Amino acid sequence: MKRLLASLVVLGMVAGAAFAQGLTVWTTFNNPTLDYLQQDVADFASAFGVDVEVVKLDINELKQQMLLSAPQGQAGDVIVGIPHDQMSEMAVGGVLADLTGAATESYLSDLGEQSRLAFTYNGRLFGLPLFVEGPALLYNRDLVTSIPDSYEGFIELSQELTTSDTFGFLYDINNFYFSYGWLHTFGGYVFGRTDGTLDPTDVGLANEGAVRGGEELQALRFEHGIVPAGTNYDVANGLFIDGALAMFYTGPWAVGQAREAGIDVGVAPMPSLADGTPWSGFMGVQGVLVNEFSERGTDAVNLAKWLTRSDSQLGYAQLEGRVPASQSALAQVAEDPIVAGFGEALLTSEPMPNIPEMGQVWGPMANALGVITESADADVEAALEQAVREITGE
């Protein structure tokens, strides 16, 4: 249904874009960040005298729409807020402008190392980083005073807090973006590295560690009884907003809504394993990209730079605890407890691979997670091995 609506929106937009004179921004942001972006864009429009229209797209639609409609001249000129793992497919598909020349030394040197590398593919910069994000443990401070030091303690606390009125811990378990935390912390990985570059033929999602992680996911539901069947993102998010969920493994985008609903939100990294292995999930960098086929290329690049200046990044940090890519902006918000919580979790996180082959990982892994969490005696190893076969195409 969502896809259908998104397609209709895109269709309308395409019709609109054909006649529009100014720039069109495609964004995946939701409120409150969408409002903030609109304001920032309006400031640019009045300072530079360029009309800009902001259009909202579904995060799962944007890449495909770009690949399909950019060469026809019917896509947005500037793309705001797309995780870096989707960048290289668009770059290889030829729809992203090379921004290597557009980024100045001072801008680049202010960026964190990870942020810059995230949008660098084949030695070229295809996006200007905006902020860094990744899942961490959001908790309701009215229900939880402090997060235990160990994963085992965290499981116990979750069980204690699961009562007739509240849930202790929930998250979107069938989503690989989140569940990678379990697979990776226990020893799995997406792509191995040879000579420092990602090797798409070396997929570590069915190795010993990944299988242990998968079994732990199964145990969450069937042994510990804390992530019941039927849990998806909307259910968990809804319960957290209603104050009926104590701990929620999700990213910064959930903070704004929860705060608006009056929840006292705390953020902490997931606790380490008993042997001291720190928790490590995915880290994503969101940035601003420019359409290679934009008819107003220079204006589009100006807007991209405007939207990623450090003042602009501050706003996202203050709104939802998105960790700024700019080091000078980060220094100004480092004291903010939400930013600090996510920042701490990101220290041990693994950047999502930014090679085009990453696009083939999501579907098979979601399928494998579906199989694993469906019943207590599903064969974790077989499910993961099948997923890896589909990813590598063997």
Partner 1 sequence: MDISRPLADFLPSRGRGGLLLSLGLLTLALAVAAAGGVLTVVVARWVAPAAPVWLGILGGIATLIPTLRVIARRYDWILPWYYLLPALVFLLTFTLFPVVLTVILAFTDYAGIRNGQLNVASETNVVAVDPDRTTIEIADARVFDCDDLRAGCAGVRARVYGSGDVDVEAIAIDGARLELAEPPPDDRVVRGVDLFLPDVGLTFESAVARVEGSTLILERAPPFAPDLGDVVLRLERSVLEVDILSDEGTTVRLAEPLPDGFAAVSIARYNDFGYIGLRNFRTIFAQASRALGPVFVWNVAFATITVILNLAVGTLLAVLLNNPDLRFRGLYRTLLIIPWALPNIITIQVWRGFLNQNFGAINRLLMLLDVTPEPVNWLLGSEWPARGAVLLVNLWLGYPFMMVAVLGALSAIPRELYEAARIDGATAWRSFTDVTAPLLRTALVPITLTGFAFNFNNFNIIYLLTDGGPAVDWGTATARGTDILISWAYNEAFRSQGGYAYGLGSAISLLIFAITLAVSLVNFRVTGALKEVSNA
Q: Which is nearer to partner 1, 213 or 252 (CB)?
A: 213
- DSSP-assigned states of every residue in 6-35: HHHHHHHHHHHHHH--SEEEEE---TTHHH
Q: Applying CB under 8 A, which part among 62-70, 149-157, 210-218, 335-343 lies near partner 1?
A: 62-70
Q: Applying CB under 8 A, which part among 129-137, 148-156, 270-278, 371-379 lies near partner 1?
A: 371-379
Question: According to CB under 8 A, which residues from 192 to 211 bind partner 1?
Answer: 197
Q: Applying CB under 8 A, which part among 148-156, 179-187, 206-214, 354-362 lies near partner 1?
A: 354-362
Among 71, 204, 243, 278, interactor with partner 1 by CB under 8 A: 71
Burial class (CB in 10 A: 0-12, 13-18, 19+), 353: buried
Interface characters, 291-330, with partner 1 (x: CB under 8 A): -x-----xx-xx--xx--xx--------------------
Q: Applying CB under 8 A, which part among 86-94, 153-161, 256-264, 340-348 lies near partner 1?
A: 86-94
Dihedral of alpha carbons 308, 346, 193, 373, sign: negative
Q: Could you tell me which residues are beta bridge partners of residue 158?
A: none
CB of 10 to partner 1, least distance (A): 13
Q: Which is nearer to partner 1, 92 or 219 (CB)?
A: 92
231 backbone φψ class: left, alpha, beta (φ>0; ψ -120 to 50) = beta
Main-chain dihedrals φ then ψ at residue 280, nearest 5 degrees: -145, 105
CB of 74 to partner 1, least distance (A): 12
Give the rounded distance of the alpha carbon of 101 from its chain centre: 27
Reported as type and span, the H/E element at residue 307 is helix 297-308
Tell me if 238 contacts partner 1 by CB under 8 A: no
Alpha-carbon distance of 285 to 351, in angstroms, equals 8
CB of 69 to partner 1, least distance (A): 12
Residue carrying structure tokens 């077989």:
382
Query: Angle, to 10 degrees, between the axis of helix 310-320 and the axis of helix 253-260?
Result: 50
Beta strand pairing call for 136-140 and 245-250: antiparallel
Tell me if 1 contacts partner 1 by CB under 8 A: yes
Alpha-carbon distance of 289 to 110, in angstroms, equals 18
Tell me if 387 contacts partner 1 by CB under 8 A: yes
Tell me if 288 contacts partner 1 by CB under 8 A: no
Question: According to CB under 8 A, which residues from 100 to 139 bind partner 1?
Answer: 101-102, 104, 106-107, 121-124, 126
Query: CB–CB of 188/213 below 8 Å?
Result: yes
Question: Quick one: tokens of 257?
Answer: 């809504």
CB of 109 to partner 1, least distance (A): 12
Q: Applying CB under 8 A, which part among 99-107, 204-212, 239-247, 253-261 lies near partner 1?
A: 99-107
Query: CB–CB of 224/159 below 8 Å?
Result: yes
Query: CB–CB of 136/341 below 8 Å?
Result: yes
Where does this chain bind partner 1 (CB under 8 A)? 1, 4, 47-49, 63-64, 67-68, 71, 88-89, 91-98, 101-102, 104, 106-107, 121-124, 126, 197, 229-230, 292, 298-299, 301-302, 305-306, 309-310, 356, 359-360, 363-364, 366-371, 374-375, 378-379, 382-383, 386-387, 390
